[in-house]
Amino acid sequence: MQLIVIVGPTGIGKTDLSINIAKHFDTVIISSDSRQVYKELKIGTAPPNKQQLSEIKHYMIANKSIHDYYNASMYELEVIDLLKNLSEKKDKVLLVGGSGMYVDAVCYGIDDLPDIDNDLRNSLIKKHETEGIESIRFDLKILDFETYKKIDLHNYKRILKALEISIQTGVPYSKFLTKNKKQRDFEVVKIGLNRDRAELHTRINQRVDIMVADGLVEEAKSFYKFKENNSLNTVGYKELFAHFDGEYNLDTAIELIKRNSRRYARRQLTWFNKYTDIKWFTPDNEKEIIKYLSK
Protein backbone atom coordinates (compact mmCIF):
# COMPACT_ATOMS: atom_id res chain seq x y z
CA MET A 1 0.00 0.00 0.00
CA GLN A 2 1.06 3.56 -0.66
CA LEU A 3 0.50 6.25 1.96
CA ILE A 4 0.20 9.67 0.32
CA VAL A 5 1.14 12.26 2.94
CA ILE A 6 -0.09 15.79 2.26
CA VAL A 7 1.30 18.41 4.63
CA GLY A 8 1.35 22.18 4.81
CA PRO A 9 0.69 25.11 7.12
CA THR A 10 -2.67 26.13 8.52
CA GLY A 11 -4.93 27.87 6.01
CA ILE A 12 -3.00 26.64 2.96
CA GLY A 13 -5.92 24.73 1.40
CA LYS A 14 -5.21 21.10 2.34
CA THR A 15 -8.83 20.07 2.88
CA ASP A 16 -10.32 20.85 -0.52
CA LEU A 17 -7.28 19.59 -2.41
CA SER A 18 -7.07 16.33 -0.48
CA ILE A 19 -10.75 15.60 -1.08
CA ASN A 20 -10.26 15.99 -4.84
CA ILE A 21 -7.18 13.77 -4.77
CA ALA A 22 -9.02 11.15 -2.70
CA LYS A 23 -11.87 11.18 -5.24
CA HIS A 24 -9.41 10.72 -8.10
CA PHE A 25 -7.79 7.67 -6.48
CA ASP A 26 -11.06 6.35 -4.97
CA THR A 27 -9.65 6.30 -1.47
CA VAL A 28 -10.07 7.73 2.04
CA ILE A 29 -8.43 10.42 4.17
CA ILE A 30 -6.83 10.07 7.59
CA SER A 31 -6.41 13.38 9.40
CA SER A 32 -3.06 14.14 11.03
CA ASP A 33 -4.30 17.26 12.80
CA SER A 34 -3.76 17.07 16.56
CA ARG A 35 -6.72 19.34 17.31
CA GLN A 36 -9.33 18.18 14.81
CA VAL A 37 -9.58 14.92 16.76
CA TYR A 38 -11.61 16.76 19.42
CA LYS A 39 -15.33 16.53 18.67
CA GLU A 40 -16.33 19.57 20.73
CA LEU A 41 -14.10 21.98 18.80
CA LYS A 42 -16.31 22.53 15.77
CA ILE A 43 -15.15 26.03 14.74
CA GLY A 44 -11.73 26.96 16.05
CA THR A 45 -9.87 23.95 14.62
CA ALA A 46 -11.38 24.40 11.12
CA PRO A 47 -12.33 20.74 10.64
CA PRO A 48 -13.91 19.59 7.35
CA ASN A 49 -17.55 20.62 7.24
CA LYS A 50 -20.51 18.24 6.88
CA GLN A 51 -20.54 18.55 3.11
CA GLN A 52 -16.84 17.75 2.84
CA LEU A 53 -17.14 14.82 5.23
CA SER A 54 -20.01 13.44 3.15
CA GLU A 55 -17.91 13.51 -0.03
CA ILE A 56 -15.03 11.38 1.25
CA LYS A 57 -14.67 9.08 4.24
CA HIS A 58 -12.48 10.75 6.87
CA TYR A 59 -10.81 9.10 9.87
CA MET A 60 -9.39 10.64 13.07
CA ILE A 61 -11.79 13.58 12.90
CA ALA A 62 -13.96 14.40 15.95
CA ASN A 63 -13.26 11.01 17.53
CA LYS A 64 -11.97 12.21 20.92
CA SER A 65 -13.20 14.52 23.66
CA ILE A 66 -11.42 17.60 24.98
CA HIS A 67 -11.44 15.78 28.33
CA ASP A 68 -9.53 12.76 26.98
CA TYR A 69 -5.83 12.29 27.52
CA TYR A 70 -4.35 11.89 24.03
CA ASN A 71 -0.91 12.15 22.47
CA ALA A 72 1.12 11.27 19.38
CA SER A 73 2.05 7.81 20.69
CA MET A 74 -1.61 6.88 21.05
CA TYR A 75 -2.31 8.35 17.62
CA GLU A 76 0.46 6.23 16.10
CA LEU A 77 -1.00 2.99 17.45
CA GLU A 78 -4.51 3.83 16.26
CA VAL A 79 -3.48 4.88 12.75
CA ILE A 80 -1.10 1.98 12.16
CA ASP A 81 -3.88 -0.42 13.12
CA LEU A 82 -6.29 1.48 10.86
CA LEU A 83 -3.86 1.32 7.93
CA LYS A 84 -3.57 -2.46 8.28
CA ASN A 85 -7.32 -2.74 7.85
CA LEU A 86 -7.48 -0.23 5.00
CA SER A 87 -4.67 -1.96 3.09
CA GLU A 88 -7.02 -4.89 2.47
CA LYS A 89 -9.29 -2.61 0.41
CA LYS A 90 -7.15 0.30 -0.81
CA ASP A 91 -3.83 0.49 -2.60
CA LYS A 92 -3.51 4.19 -1.74
CA VAL A 93 -4.55 6.08 1.40
CA LEU A 94 -4.16 9.80 2.17
CA LEU A 95 -2.72 11.16 5.42
CA VAL A 96 -3.48 14.88 5.56
CA GLY A 97 -2.71 17.54 8.13
CA GLY A 98 -0.38 20.05 9.67
CA SER A 99 0.75 18.39 12.91
CA GLY A 100 4.32 17.36 12.18
CA MET A 101 4.70 15.14 15.24
CA TYR A 102 1.59 13.17 14.27
CA VAL A 103 2.86 12.75 10.71
CA ASP A 104 6.25 11.56 11.98
CA ALA A 105 4.55 9.15 14.38
CA VAL A 106 2.90 7.37 11.44
CA CYS A 107 5.79 7.54 8.97
CA TYR A 108 8.69 6.82 11.31
CA GLY A 109 7.24 5.77 14.64
CA ILE A 110 7.70 7.06 18.16
CA ASP A 111 10.01 5.37 20.63
CA ASP A 112 8.38 2.50 22.49
CA LEU A 113 7.58 3.62 26.00
CA PRO A 114 6.28 1.65 28.99
CA ASP A 115 2.60 1.73 29.85
CA ILE A 116 1.80 4.14 32.65
CA ASP A 117 -0.05 3.18 35.81
CA ASN A 118 -3.40 4.97 35.88
CA ASP A 119 -3.04 5.91 39.53
CA LEU A 120 0.25 7.65 38.81
CA ARG A 121 -1.19 9.50 35.83
CA ASN A 122 -4.27 10.58 37.77
CA SER A 123 -2.16 11.79 40.68
CA LEU A 124 -0.04 13.94 38.36
CA ILE A 125 -3.13 15.31 36.65
CA LYS A 126 -4.57 16.19 40.05
CA LYS A 127 -1.30 17.85 41.07
CA HIS A 128 -1.38 19.96 37.94
CA GLU A 129 -4.99 20.94 38.59
CA THR A 130 -4.43 21.89 42.22
CA GLU A 131 -0.87 23.26 42.21
CA GLY A 132 -0.51 24.49 38.65
CA ILE A 133 1.91 23.77 35.83
CA GLU A 134 4.88 25.21 37.75
CA SER A 135 4.74 22.28 40.17
CA ILE A 136 5.13 19.62 37.49
CA ARG A 137 7.73 21.73 35.67
CA PHE A 138 9.80 21.74 38.86
CA ASP A 139 9.48 17.98 39.26
CA LEU A 140 10.60 17.43 35.67
CA LYS A 141 13.56 19.75 36.14
CA ILE A 142 14.71 17.64 39.08
CA LEU A 143 14.11 14.22 37.48
CA ASP A 144 15.12 14.89 33.85
CA PHE A 145 16.95 18.14 33.25
CA GLU A 146 17.80 17.18 29.65
CA THR A 147 14.12 16.98 28.73
CA TYR A 148 13.35 20.08 30.80
CA LYS A 149 15.81 22.11 28.70
CA LYS A 150 14.20 21.07 25.40
CA ILE A 151 10.50 20.61 26.11
CA ASP A 152 7.74 23.17 25.54
CA LEU A 153 7.26 24.30 29.15
CA HIS A 154 3.78 25.59 28.34
CA ASN A 155 2.59 22.21 27.09
CA TYR A 156 1.11 20.40 30.08
CA LYS A 157 0.61 17.17 28.14
CA ARG A 158 4.26 16.83 27.09
CA ILE A 159 5.50 17.64 30.58
CA LEU A 160 3.13 15.05 32.03
CA LYS A 161 4.30 12.39 29.60
CA ALA A 162 7.98 12.95 30.39
CA LEU A 163 7.35 13.13 34.11
CA GLU A 164 5.22 10.00 34.40
CA ILE A 165 7.81 7.94 32.46
CA SER A 166 10.63 9.26 34.65
CA ILE A 167 8.76 8.54 37.88
CA GLN A 168 7.44 5.09 36.96
CA THR A 169 10.69 3.70 35.55
CA GLY A 170 13.22 5.59 37.65
CA VAL A 171 14.97 6.39 34.36
CA PRO A 172 14.87 9.87 32.79
CA TYR A 173 12.44 10.12 29.89
CA SER A 174 15.24 11.48 27.68
CA LYS A 175 17.03 8.11 27.93
CA PHE A 176 14.14 6.40 26.12
CA LEU A 177 14.38 8.62 23.02
CA THR A 178 16.50 6.64 20.58
CA LYS A 179 14.97 8.19 17.44
CA ASN A 180 15.32 4.90 15.55
CA LYS A 181 12.95 4.70 12.58
CA LYS A 182 10.48 1.86 12.64
CA GLN A 183 9.94 -0.37 9.63
CA ARG A 184 6.57 0.17 7.97
CA ASP A 185 4.56 -2.09 5.70
CA PHE A 186 3.63 0.76 3.38
CA GLU A 187 5.40 3.11 1.01
CA VAL A 188 5.35 6.79 1.92
CA VAL A 189 5.05 9.54 -0.71
CA LYS A 190 5.09 13.10 0.63
CA ILE A 191 3.50 16.18 -0.89
CA GLY A 192 4.11 19.61 0.62
CA LEU A 193 1.84 22.59 0.02
CA ASN A 194 2.91 26.22 0.18
CA ARG A 195 1.94 29.62 -1.21
CA ASP A 196 3.34 33.09 -1.49
CA ARG A 197 3.71 34.31 2.10
CA ALA A 198 1.53 37.39 1.65
CA GLU A 199 -1.20 35.28 0.06
CA LEU A 200 -1.01 32.72 2.88
CA HIS A 201 -1.24 35.44 5.53
CA THR A 202 -4.29 36.91 3.81
CA ARG A 203 -5.98 33.51 3.74
CA ILE A 204 -5.23 32.97 7.43
CA ASN A 205 -6.63 36.38 8.38
CA GLN A 206 -9.76 35.80 6.33
CA ARG A 207 -10.29 32.38 7.87
CA VAL A 208 -10.13 33.85 11.36
CA ASP A 209 -12.75 36.43 10.38
CA ILE A 210 -14.98 33.62 9.10
CA MET A 211 -14.52 31.65 12.33
CA VAL A 212 -15.52 34.68 14.39
CA ALA A 213 -18.58 35.21 12.19
CA ASP A 214 -19.47 31.53 12.59
CA GLY A 215 -19.47 31.80 16.39
CA LEU A 216 -15.90 31.17 17.59
CA VAL A 217 -16.28 33.58 20.53
CA GLU A 218 -19.41 31.81 21.76
CA GLU A 219 -17.79 28.41 21.28
CA ALA A 220 -14.72 29.45 23.31
CA LYS A 221 -16.95 30.92 26.02
CA SER A 222 -18.73 27.57 26.41
CA PHE A 223 -15.37 25.88 27.13
CA TYR A 224 -13.93 28.61 29.35
CA LYS A 225 -14.31 26.54 32.52
CA PHE A 226 -12.10 23.86 30.93
CA LYS A 227 -9.40 26.29 29.79
CA GLU A 228 -6.66 24.41 31.66
CA ASN A 229 -7.21 21.33 29.48
CA ASN A 230 -4.26 20.80 27.18
CA SER A 231 -6.69 20.24 24.31
CA LEU A 232 -7.69 23.91 24.68
CA ASN A 233 -4.13 25.21 24.74
CA THR A 234 -4.80 26.07 21.13
CA VAL A 235 -4.58 29.17 18.96
CA GLY A 236 -8.03 30.69 18.70
CA TYR A 237 -9.14 29.57 22.14
CA LYS A 238 -6.35 30.66 24.48
CA GLU A 239 -6.47 34.25 23.15
CA LEU A 240 -10.20 34.40 23.80
CA PHE A 241 -9.78 32.92 27.27
CA ALA A 242 -7.35 35.76 28.04
CA HIS A 243 -9.97 38.21 26.74
CA PHE A 244 -12.58 36.66 29.04
CA ASP A 245 -10.09 37.11 31.89
CA GLY A 246 -10.00 40.84 31.12
CA GLU A 247 -6.45 40.98 29.77
CA TYR A 248 -7.51 42.78 26.58
CA ASN A 249 -10.59 43.61 24.49
CA LEU A 250 -12.19 41.43 21.83
CA ASP A 251 -10.67 43.25 18.85
CA THR A 252 -7.20 42.73 20.31
CA ALA A 253 -7.96 39.04 20.92
CA ILE A 254 -8.97 38.57 17.28
CA GLU A 255 -5.82 40.30 16.05
CA LEU A 256 -3.74 38.07 18.32
CA ILE A 257 -5.45 34.97 16.91
CA LYS A 258 -4.47 36.10 13.41
CA ARG A 259 -0.90 36.88 14.47
CA ASN A 260 -0.43 33.62 16.37
CA SER A 261 -1.96 31.64 13.48
CA ARG A 262 0.58 33.19 11.12
CA ARG A 263 3.38 32.36 13.54
CA TYR A 264 2.12 28.80 13.85
CA ALA A 265 2.16 28.49 10.05
CA ARG A 266 5.82 29.51 10.04
CA ARG A 267 6.66 26.90 12.67
CA GLN A 268 4.85 24.25 10.64
CA LEU A 269 6.83 25.12 7.52
CA THR A 270 10.07 24.98 9.50
CA TRP A 271 9.15 21.47 10.67
CA PHE A 272 8.20 20.23 7.19
CA ASN A 273 11.24 21.79 5.53
CA LYS A 274 13.41 19.30 7.39
CA TYR A 275 11.99 16.52 5.20
CA THR A 276 14.33 15.65 2.34
CA ASP A 277 11.80 13.36 0.65
CA ILE A 278 9.05 15.90 0.06
CA LYS A 279 7.81 17.31 -3.25
CA TRP A 280 6.46 20.85 -2.97
CA PHE A 281 3.51 22.28 -4.90
CA THR A 282 1.03 25.14 -4.65
CA PRO A 283 -2.46 23.86 -3.77
CA ASP A 284 -3.82 25.38 -7.01
CA ASN A 285 -1.65 23.00 -9.04
CA GLU A 286 -4.00 20.03 -8.59
CA LYS A 287 -3.46 18.47 -12.02
CA GLU A 288 0.32 18.41 -11.62
CA ILE A 289 0.01 16.91 -8.14
CA ILE A 290 -2.25 14.11 -9.38
CA LYS A 291 0.07 13.52 -12.33
CA TYR A 292 3.04 13.25 -9.95
CA LEU A 293 1.21 10.84 -7.66
CA SER A 294 0.06 8.69 -10.58
CA LYS A 295 3.61 7.90 -11.67
pLDDT in tens, 213-240: 999 999 999 999 999 888 898 999 999 9
Are 9 and 83 within one domain?
A: yes
Are 240 and 95 within one domain?
A: yes
Are 279 and 215 within one domain?
A: yes
pLDDT of residue 251: 98
The CATH number assigned to the domain holding 167 equals: 1.10.20.140
What is the band of 3 on the pLDDT scale with cuts at 50, 70, 90?
Answer: very high
- Look at the pTM and tell me if it is higher than 0.75: yes
pLDDT of 88-132, one tens digit each? Answer: 999 999 999 999 989 999 999 877 677 778 888 889 999 998 999
Are 18 and 79 within one domain?
A: yes
pLDDT of residue 159: 93
Backbone dihedral angles phi then psi of residue 3, each to the nearest 5 degrees: -100, 110
pLDDT of 131-189, one tens digit each? Answer: 999 999 999 999 999 999 989 898 888 899 899 989 988 888 888 776 678 899 999 99
Find the angle CA(230)-CA(235)-CA(236) to the nearest 5 degrees.
110
Are 162 and 147 within one domain?
A: yes
pLDDT of 238-276, one tens digit each? Answer: 999 999 999 999 999 999 999 999 999 999 999 999 899
pLDDT of residue 178: 67
Q: In terms of Cα–Cα distance, which of 140, 160, 139, 161 is closest to 149?
A: 140
Are 131 and 172 within one domain?
A: yes
Q: Which residue has the higher pLDDT, 200 or 121?
A: 200
Q: Which of 126, 144, 176 is the last residue of a domain?
A: 176
Are 78 and 30 within one domain?
A: yes
Q: Which of 129, 146, 176 is the last residue of a domain?
A: 176
State the residue range of the domain holding 8.
2-110+180-294
Are 95 and 41 within one domain?
A: yes
Average pLDDT over residues 52-81: 94
The count of structural domains within the chain is 2
pLDDT of residue 121: 86
Most confident range (mean pLDDT) of 38-52, 67-81, 104-118, 224-238 is 38-52
Average pLDDT over residues 75-80: 96
Q: Which long-range contacts (CB under 8 A, 24 or more apart) does 217-222 make?
A: 217/250, 219/41, 219/42, 219/43, 219/44, 220/44, 220/244
Are 12 and 62 within one domain?
A: yes
pLDDT of residue 204: 98
